[in-house]
């Protein structure tokens, strides 16, 4: 069983401690919510796990191996995938071609096999209009394409950084169902960063709350959201 373990994970940018002594374990099949106010360190945490940043101190273990200093492409090969808060799809290509390129690069597939695999992945996400250029996709279709690209890497652990942003309520429901389905079908551990608490409530069994880089609370959303320290972190005042 794949397991991601963070031990005292810390990242400093000059005088600023963006992630501070984070301990965490995630196992296959689990959807974990990662919440906290703007600048709390959520994206930096994902960057440390996926290899965009090397920690200042502390460790990232995956399947028992210390991968703290591994480059991003090696972590991706091992099964750690993520979406980006600001996405950069390949323009002038269709949605299907964007996903195909994922299969060709990540899994070394030839064009024909990548086409078949990409089609299958897009179907499983109920991503329509795969023949359209990315510029013509709806926001929901673009988000699904980004998720399809991560699945092309054959992930075991997946981080979604605010993928629901910009969706209306029907589209949000659709994407929540999609994320639940891929967690089951691919037996993934998924870390979900979201500002919309309704999404966190529907999607996750457990949440961690980050504030100024530290985990200040964790547990089921309904319990955590009642804690005075969490209310205070969100409102920025007295609970
Ligand atoms: N590459 C960087 N260099 C310097 N400071 C950074 C860098 N990346 C992030 N920071 C700082 O680290 C802190 C945490 O940022 P981060 O982006 O992880 O927050 P976040 O929780 O994802 O916020 P948001 O909800 O707004 O996306 C912020 O103060 C941010 O300005
Ligand atoms: Mg962020």
Sequence spans of domains, the chain: 1-79+156-239, 86-154
Residue 43 Cβ inside 6 Å of ligand 1? The answer reads: yes
Beta strand 214-219 pairing with 206-211: antiparallel
d(CA 19, CA 223) in angstroms, rounded, equals 24
In tens, the pLDDT along 124-169 reads 999 999 999 999 999 999 999 999 999 999 999 999 999 999 999 9
Distance (Å) from CA 84 to ligand 2 centroid? 9
How many whole angstroms separate alpha carbon 234 and alpha carbon 221? 14
What is the predicted pLDDT for the residue at 91? Answer: 79
Query: Mean pLDDT, to the nearest integer, of 203-219?
Result: 97
pLDDT (0 to 100) of residue 238: 47
- Average pLDDT of the residues of the chain: 94
- CA 107 – CA 99 distance, rounded (Å): 12
CA–CA distance, 200 with 101 (Å, rounded to integer): 31
Q: Average the pLDDT over 2-6 and give the result.
A: 92
Rg (CA), the chain: 18
Q: Check if 42 has its Cβ closer than 6 Å to any atom of ligand 1.
A: yes
Residue-wise pLDDT tens digits, 38-78: 999 999 999 999 999 999 999 999 999 999 999 999 999 99
Angle at 53 between CA 49 and CA 56, to 5 degrees: 95
pTM of the predicted model as reported, rounded to 2 decimal places: 0.94
Sequential DSSP letters for 53-74: S--SEEEEEETTEE-TT--HHH
Q: Report the top-level CATH class of 1-79+156-239.
A: alpha beta
Question: What are the φ/ψ torsions at residue 117 (nearest 5 degrees)?
Answer: -65, -40
Is the CB of 40 inside a 6 Å radius of any atom of ligand 1? Answer: yes
Return the ligand 1 atom nearest residue 36 CA. Answer: 21
């Amino acid at each position: 069983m794949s397991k991601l373990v963070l031990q005292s994970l810390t990242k400093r940018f000059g005088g600023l401690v963006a992630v501070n002594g984070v301990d965490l374990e995630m196992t296959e099949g689990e959807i974990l919510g990662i919440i906290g106010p703007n600048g709390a360190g959520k994206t930096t945490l994902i960057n440390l796990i996926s290899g965009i940043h090397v920690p200042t101190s502390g460790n990232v273990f995956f399947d028992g191996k210390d991968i703290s200093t591994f480059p991003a492409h090696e972590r991706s090969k091992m099964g750690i995938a993520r979406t980006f808060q600001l996405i950069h799809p390949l323009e002038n290509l269709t949605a299907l071609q964007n996903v195909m390129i994922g299969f060709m690069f990540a899994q070394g597939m030839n064009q024909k096999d990548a086409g078949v695999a990409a089609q299958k992945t897009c179907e499983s996400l109920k991503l329509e209009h795969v023949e359209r250029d990315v510029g013509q996709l709806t926001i929901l279709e673009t988000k699904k394409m980004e998720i399809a690209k991560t699945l092309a890497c054959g992930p075991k652990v997946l981080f979604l950084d605010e993928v629901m942003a910009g969706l209306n309520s029907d589209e949000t429901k659709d994407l929540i169902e999609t994320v639940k389905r891929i967690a089951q079908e691919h037996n993934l551990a998924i870390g979900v960063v979201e500002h919309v608490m309704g999404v966190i409530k529907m999607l996750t069994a457990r949440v961690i709350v980050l504030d100024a880089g530290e985990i200040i609370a964790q547990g089921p959303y309904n319990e955590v959201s009642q804690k005075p320290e969490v209310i205070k972190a969100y409102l920025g005042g007295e609970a």
